[in-house]
Amino acid sequence: MTFDKDKKNVFSAIQPSGTITLGNYLGAIKNWIPLQEKYNCIFSLADLHTITVRQDPKEFHKNILQTYALFLSCGVDPKKSIFFIQSHVHTHAELAWILNCYTQFGELSRMTQFKDKSSRYSENINVGLFCYPTLMASDILLYKTHLIPVGIDQKQHVELARNVAGRFNGIYGEVFTMPEPLIPKVGAKIMSLQDPKKKMSKSDSNRNAYISVLDSEEDILKKLRKVVTDSNSEIKYSGSMTGVDNLINIYCCITGKNVNEAEDEFRDKGYKYLKESVAAVVANELKPIQSKFDDYIKDLGYMEKCYKEAARQANDISKEMISRVFSKVGFVPK
């Protein structure tokens, strides 16, 4: 892929921790695909971020390769985008260190995700978890990123990246490009099937709370059947994060219909019909992805070629920025 100076740059990443959920797919990956036609896209598997929570090495290794295969299956095209593995490009950790020195302890202490995760993993509140947002800022700022497609839960981290970039530029002149989050209207947040007030998450201990993109048609139906719906007979979108709202959101996200159209379609049909219809569109959406996944995961040689070439390109681009930063800070060139 060649960088076109007339196009804006897009950067996004996702953590290769375990399976990819329907929430990741609809809230993130699916929105990335059309961006490839319009922008210079750089996508990454944020494996350095993932070790802020303890991983089993074998399982982690497998997850990274699986996630890479899944992204290819979802339509990330290595000919159109740079799709690399974060730990393969050393500039990320380097810039992260520098940004740490321009970020205040208080700022990071206020991050909602840090507060959430430190209560969830209270036995391992490591410094990496605390500095997670500066590593993310480094990912973004290395590539003169204009746009960052992310879910709404990452907005605060993007805001931090902007603050740090602004502070650095304030001291040293225009070094970093000011990035903007690109948050999709529908589907930005697919909620847990078991607790629709919480985001759908692969780290949920209840397997029924999320759909994995690799789930069978049967499992999808089973999980959707368990969604708690209320006792109203009319199916309506309430806007207050109910199980029904979540089902309608999923349906709209996949079919491209709006909420009113979905309500008209389901109003008098009953919850069983709603759940089965959602299950059918979900299974239908995931089927081609699953079949491509089976092919990619068998062809590790091909994947290796893709991620090595991508790392080479990402390295070429980002080393310009890191040299610039080194020189601004006053380091002696090597």
Q: Which stretch binds ligand TRP (CB under 6 A): 10-18, 201-209, 229-237, 305-313?
A: 10-18
CA atoms of 179 and 313, how far apart (whole Å): 21
From 10, 29, 46, 111, residue interacting with ligand TRP (rule: CB under 6 A):
46
For position 42 contacting ligand TRP by CB under 6 A, the verdict is no
Size of the site for ligand TRP (CB under 6 A): 13
What one-letter code names the amino acid at 69? Answer: A
CA torsion through residues 81, 84, 90, 93, sign: positive
From 40, 66, 154, 277, residue interacting with ligand TRP (rule: CB under 6 A):
154
The burial of 131, by beta-carbon neighbours within 10 Å (0-12 exposed, 13-18 middle, 19 or more buried), is given as buried
Match 């029924």 to its residue by tokens: 208
Q: What is the contact mask toward ligand TRP in residues 99 to 138, using x (rule: CB under 6 A)? A: -------------------------------------x--
Give catalytic residues, as residue numbers.
117, 199, 202
Task: Return the number of the residue (145 or 313) whose C-beta is nearest ligand TRP.
Answer: 145
Q: How far is the CB of 223 from ligand TRP (least distance, A)?
A: 22
Tell which residue, 111, 126, 119, has the closest CA to residue 48. 126
> Using an 8 Å Cβ cutoff, are 158 and 148 in contact?
yes
From 41, 76, 150, 279, residue interacting with ligand TRP (rule: CB under 6 A):
150
Tell me how crowded residue 143 is: count the other CB atoms within 10 A of its CB.
Answer: 24
From 13, 45, 147, 278, residue interacting with ligand TRP (rule: CB under 6 A):
13
From 49, 117, 199, 275, residue interacting with ligand TRP (rule: CB under 6 A):
49
C-alpha radius of gyration, the chain, whole number: 21
